[in-house]
């Protein structure tokens, strides 16, 4: 079977009487040029193991399997499995797993499917409704992931790569950049999917860091302050942080902000990663 052209896709969907499930955010990628570009961004070698989340009809999976040593395709929709069995029948280095990616221990999955590997890669076309939780699941659990290549809505891509002070800059920006370097690879038009999504997409590359780019004494405290700073964006830092710790007074927070050299009238969206880390470390020592 060659590339999954729009005609072949419609034939597959018809033969298997498949119905698109909006609840799973199903938009099937059908453009071979876009698929090739995603594979290029992943930078695959014959020794690589790749975990693909949401293989759909297998269009991208086929290209991944031609470049990588092992592909593990995780699909939540059981009604897609017979289609994947057909479209991937000629690829003996692909393992199809029916599972919810949010509940997977990826280190264990990779170990069971391909044996222990030092690093593996994740490629995913993420449905909007689980984009942020799934990205953080990839990053927060100390999985042995080196590179994550994800297709997301353009709005999410802007948030991931946003700079302090911009309206897109928020908790997700800080959290992802704490764990990985972020690069927006290219935009993807609506026309390359069946069915067409309502908005455009973009492919983003996350290279997972060996350690955070800032020194943080307590990761939990760091993220408590980050979330509080963005919870009500119009509030100044001094007001936003007031509810973080009942044992600390307004004067205590004023003192910590002054110690960090941060104007208490600033808003959370203006702080960069280093400033959040500095303030969090002062707070941790104070506790």
Q: Is it the case that residue 129 has pLDDT exceeding 90?
A: no
Find out whether 182 and 176 touch, Cβ atoms under 8 Å: yes
For residue 276, give both structure tokens. Answer: 């959040």
Q: Do domains 6-208 and 219-286 have the same CATH topology?
A: no
Q: Pick from 43-52, 107-116, 239-248 the range whose average pLDDT is largest.
A: 43-52
pLDDT digits 0-9 by tens, 159-203: 999 999 999 999 999 999 999 999 999 999 999 998 889 899 999
Greater confidence (138 vs 1) lies with 138
Q: Is it the case that residue 22 has pLDDT exceeding 50?
A: yes
- CATH for 219-286, options being 2.60.40.10, 1.10.10.10, 1.10.8.100, 3.90.650.10: 1.10.8.100
Domain residues of the chain, as ranges?
Answer: 6-208, 219-286
- pTM for this model (two decimals): 0.94
Determine what percent of the chain is predicted with pLDDT higher than 90.
Answer: 82
Q: Is it the case that residue 4 has pLDDT exceeding 80?
A: no
pLDDT at 233: 82
pLDDT at 74: 97
Closest CA to 214 of 260, 278, 262, 159: 278
What is the average pLDDT across 19-48? 90
Q: Domain 6-208 class? A: alpha beta
The per-residue DSSP string of the chain comes to -----HHHHHHHHHHTT----GGGT--EE--HHHHHHHHHHHT--TT-EEEEE--TTSHHHHHHHHHSSEEEEEES-GGGHHHHHHHTTT-TTEEEEES-GGG--HHHHHHHHH---S-EEEEEE--GGGHHHHHHHHHHTT--EEEEEEEEEHHHHHHHTPPTTSTT-SHHHHHHHHHEEEEEEEEE-GGGEESPPSS-EEEEEEEE-SS-SS--S-HHHHHHHHHHHHHTTTSBHHHHGGGS-TTS-HHHHHHHHHHTT--TTSBGGG--HHHHHHHHHHHHHH-
Measure the CA–CA gap between 254 and 19, rounded to whole angstroms. Answer: 57
pLDDT at 3: 63
Q: Is it the case that residue 2 has pLDDT exceeding 70?
A: no
pLDDT at 8: 83
pLDDT digits 0-9 by tens, 79-127: 999 999 999 999 999 999 999 999 999 999 999 998 888 899 999 998 8
pLDDT at 267: 96
């Amino acid at each position: 079977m060659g590339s999954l052209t729009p005609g072949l896709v419609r034939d597959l969907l018809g033969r298997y009487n498949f119905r698109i499930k909006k609840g799973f955010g199903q938009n099937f990628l059908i453009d071979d040029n876009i698929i090739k570009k995603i594979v290029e961004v992943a930078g695959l070698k014959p020794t690589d193991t790749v975990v693909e989340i949401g293989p759909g009809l297998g269009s991208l999976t086929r290209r991944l399997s031609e470049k990588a040593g092992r592909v593990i395709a995780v699909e939540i929709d059981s009604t897609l499995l017979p289609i994947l069995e057909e479209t991937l029948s000629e690829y003996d280095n692909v393992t199809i797993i029916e599972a919810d990616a949010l509940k997977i221990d990826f280190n264990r999955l990779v170990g069971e499917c391909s044996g222990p590997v030092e690093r593996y890669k994740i490629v995913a076309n993420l449905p909007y409704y689980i984009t942020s939780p799934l990205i953080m699941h990839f990053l927060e659990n100390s999985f042995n992931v080196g590179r994550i290549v994800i297709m997301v809505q353009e709005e999410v891509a802007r948030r991931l790569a946003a700079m302090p002070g911009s309206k897109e800059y928020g908790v997700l920006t800080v959290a992802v950049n704490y764990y990985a370097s972020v690069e927006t690879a290219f935009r993807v038009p609506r026309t390359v999917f069946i069915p067409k999504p309502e908005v455009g997409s973009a492919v983003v590359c996350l290279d997972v860091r060996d350690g955070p780019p800032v020194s943080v004494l307590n990761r939990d405290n760091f993220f408590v302050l980050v979330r509080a700073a963005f919870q009500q964006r119009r509030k100044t830092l001094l007001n936003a942080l007031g509810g973080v710790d009942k044992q600390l007074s307004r004067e205590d927070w004023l003192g910590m902000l002054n110690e960090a050299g941060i104007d208490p009238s600033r808003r959370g969206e203006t702080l960069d990663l280093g400033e959040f880390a500095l303030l969090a470390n002062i707070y941790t020592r104070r506790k």
